[in-house]
């Protein structure tokens, strides 16, 4: 099987002879191909979002799994959903071939062990109600293939993300997202265009899923988890804007709401205590708009 991600790129064939600015011009020109390629996959990404949103709404979890750059990107996206959307840490999980040590250094041969993927998912308690997203730039990584095969035996949902046309992992997934980026600037270095495409796709999937789950009002991060001064300032600003109050009142509301932006806003807009505000939000599936309507 000939992999485009491993092929020679004519545009960069003599890149080692060029000046720094010329090198960067070539890299930038190749990077410009990423977004259009991802756009071609939007219908498949949309199907993946619908599957993930339905899974999480029904008590399931999302598992990203990959090797090398792909695995690291999955873990990054999973981790960032916690502060951005107050997602429980186990709701979206990332696994990488070779375990945590592979986050900072290469673990030789880890990606070639499909059985280890099954052990890793079993250890995380994968269930039929969950969904597994296998990420592999080549689409051929044995560790990812093993993960998708195991998920299918349980009846779990499966998604494949790859950067080659018609990759093997696509045939093991309910939904296949394949982007054709052509060869890399440095042949086989899939941390470049392929890595950028994968990050875009994972960001799209998680962000769109969280929007579907009511964790965004308008384009505002109303489920932000306040863990530092910057996020506290953001939360205060959100309450000021959505509850139409000054900074002092916004701070008081957040204190009474245990720093939950949506709860604080409902408290002010509906003139209720924190517990009642939470009940109203719960009855609305966590969707702030369903409780307070549109706010100018």
Q: Supply the Cα-derived Rg of the chain in whole angstroms.
A: 22
30, 111, 184, 260: the active-site residue: 111
6, 30, 40, 80: the active-site residue: 80
Give alpha helix (H) positions in the chain. 20-31, 34-40, 42-57, 68-85, 114-123, 142-154, 193-212, 229-243, 247-256, 261-270, 274-283, 288-292
Burial of 259 (0-12, 13-18, 19+ CB in 10 A): buried
Annotated catalytic, 184?
no
Annotated catalytic, 111?
yes
If phi > 0 it is left, if psi is from -120 to 50 it is alpha, else beta; for residue 125 that is: left
Distance CA 40, CA 123 (A): 36
Q: What is the DSSP letter of 296?
A: -
Q: What is the DSSP letter of 24?
A: H
Q: Which of 180, 152, 155, 154 is nearest to 166 (CA)?
A: 180
Catalytic residue numbers read 80, 111
């Amino acid at each position: 099987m000939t992999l485009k991600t491993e092929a020679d790129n004519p545009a960069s064939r003599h890149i080692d002879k060029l000046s720094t600015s010329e090198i960067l011009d070539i890299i930038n020109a190749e990077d410009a191909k990423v977004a259009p390629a991802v756009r071609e996959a939007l219908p498949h990404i949309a199907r993946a979002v619908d599957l993930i949103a339905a899974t999480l709404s029904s008590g399931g979890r999302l598992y990203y799994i990959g090797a090398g750059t792909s695995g690291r990107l999955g873990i990054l996206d999973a981790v960032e959903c916690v502060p951005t959307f107050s997602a429980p840490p186990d709701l979206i999980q990332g696994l990488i071939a070779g375990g945590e040590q592979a986050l900072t250094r290469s673990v030789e041969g880890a990606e070639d062990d499909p059985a280890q993927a099954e052990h890793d998912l079993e250890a995380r308690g994968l269930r039929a109600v969950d969904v597994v997203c296998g990420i592999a730039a080549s689409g051929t990584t044995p560790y990812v293939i093993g993960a998708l095969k195991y998920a299918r035996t349980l009846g779990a949902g499966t998604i494949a993300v790859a950067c080659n046309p018609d990759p093997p992992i696509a045939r093991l997934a309910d939904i296949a997202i394949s982007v054709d980026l052509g060869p890399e600037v440095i042949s086989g270095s899939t941390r470049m265009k392929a890595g950028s495409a994968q990050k875009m796709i994972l960001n799209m999937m998680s962000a769109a899923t969280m929007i579907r789950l009511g964790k965004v009002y308008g384009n505002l991060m109303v489920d932000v988890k306040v863990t530092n001064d910057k996020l506290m300032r953001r939360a205060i600003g959100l309450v000021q804007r959505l509850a139409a109050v000054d900074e002092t009142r916004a701070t008081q509301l957040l204190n009474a709401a245990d720093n939950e932006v949506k709860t604080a806003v409902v408290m002010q807009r509906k003139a209720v205590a924190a517990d009642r505000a939470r009940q109203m939000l719960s009855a609305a599936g966590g969707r702030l708009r369903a409780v307070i309507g549109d706010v100018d």
